[in-house]
């Protein structure tokens, strides 16, 4: 398999399992023998603030950071955080977005107006991404067994869009390998439900 360049950003709020989601994709890339570079945030920056990881896959990749305007896939576990990636989004971007808004409590103190999900979606559309998939990842995760696997639901949905440079089986195997044993079955269920939620898989 050869990929020249494929750029993913996973964005959300600290605590949503963003690192885990990205690690699964990195593991899939490794399994396929693809070159990749992933960059993530640690420390103070993950205390319920905005966080995002960047994953770049491809033979031409050496920088671990995505260049503005060249994003292929955005996985937004939280819609405001998805919108915050605006500089990276272009016609080549597929957006997979959770519809559950987590308003930053600091915004209330500053009286900063918080856009509704519909407003966020409209702003996202104005950036002209290739496609936007919206799902209620928390509901689907709860159906799988626990809302803490909403991140895996999102990953399944991302796989179903068909843009990821991995066959489904490889990503699923990678998920199995990266999951702690206690959460393995739960994660696999969440992944499958996430995949089914994007229809029809072309």
Q: Which residues contact 89 (CB under 8 A, 6 or more apart)?
A: 71, 74, 95, 124, 127, 129
Is residue 186 at the binding interface for another protein, with CB under 8 A as the rule?
no
Is residue 117 at the binding interface for another protein, with CB under 8 A as the rule?
no
Is residue 70 at the binding interface for another protein, with CB under 8 A as the rule?
yes
Is residue 196 at the binding interface for another protein, with CB under 8 A as the rule?
no
Nearest to 196 by CA among 146, 137, 149: 137
Residue span 122-161 as binding mask against another protein, x where in contact by CB under 8 A, dash where not: -x--xx----------x--------x--x-----------
Residue span 39-68 as binding mask against another protein, x where in contact by CB under 8 A, dash where not: xxxxxxxxxxxx---------xxxxxx-xx
Considering the complex, state which of residue 88 and residue 191 has its C-beta at the smaller distance from another protein.
88
Considering the complex, state which of residue 164 and residue 200 has its C-beta at the smaller distance from another protein.
164
Task: Kindly compute the dihedral angle of the four CA atoms of residues 76, 166, 63, 88, in this order, to the nearest 10 degrees.
Answer: -30
Q: Which residues pair with 11 in a beta bridge?
A: 52, 76
Nearest to 151 by CA among 142, 143, 141, 163: 141
Measure the CA–CA gap between 57 and 95, rounded to whole angstroms.
Answer: 18
The tokens describing 194, both together, are 């996430």
Beta carbon of residue 13, minimum distance to another protein (angstroms, whole number): 7
Contact residues: another protein, CB under 8 A: 13-15, 23, 26-27, 29-30, 33, 35-50, 60-65, 67-70, 80-81, 83-84, 86-87, 100, 102-110, 112-115, 119, 123, 126-127, 138, 147, 150
């Amino acid at each position: 398999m050869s990929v020249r360049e494929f750029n993913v950003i996973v964005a959300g709020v600290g605590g949503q399992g963003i690192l885990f989601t990205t690690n699964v994709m990195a593991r899939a890339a490794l399994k396929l023998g693809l070159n990749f570079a992933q960059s993530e945030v640690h420390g103070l920056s993950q205390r319920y603030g905005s966080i995002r990881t960047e994953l770049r896959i491809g033979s031409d990749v050496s920088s671990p950071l995505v260049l503005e305007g060249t994003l292929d896939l955005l996985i937004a576990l939280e819609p405001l955080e998805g919108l915050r990636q605006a500089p990276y989004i272009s016609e080549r971007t597929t957006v997979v977005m959770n519809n559950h808004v987590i308003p930053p409590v600091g915004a209330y103190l500053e009286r900063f107006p918080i856009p509704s999900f519909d407003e966020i979606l409209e702003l996202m559309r104005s950036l002209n991404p290739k496609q936007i998939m919206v799902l209620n990842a928390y509901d689907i995760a709860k159906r799988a067994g626990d809302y803490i696997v909403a991140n895996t639901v999102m990953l399944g949905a991302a796989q179903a869009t068909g843009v990821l440079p991995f066959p489904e089986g490889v990503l699923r195997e990678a998920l199995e390998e990266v999951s702690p044993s206690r959460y393995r079955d739960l994660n696999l269920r969440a992944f499958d439900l996430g995949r089914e939620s994007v229809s029809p898989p072309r």
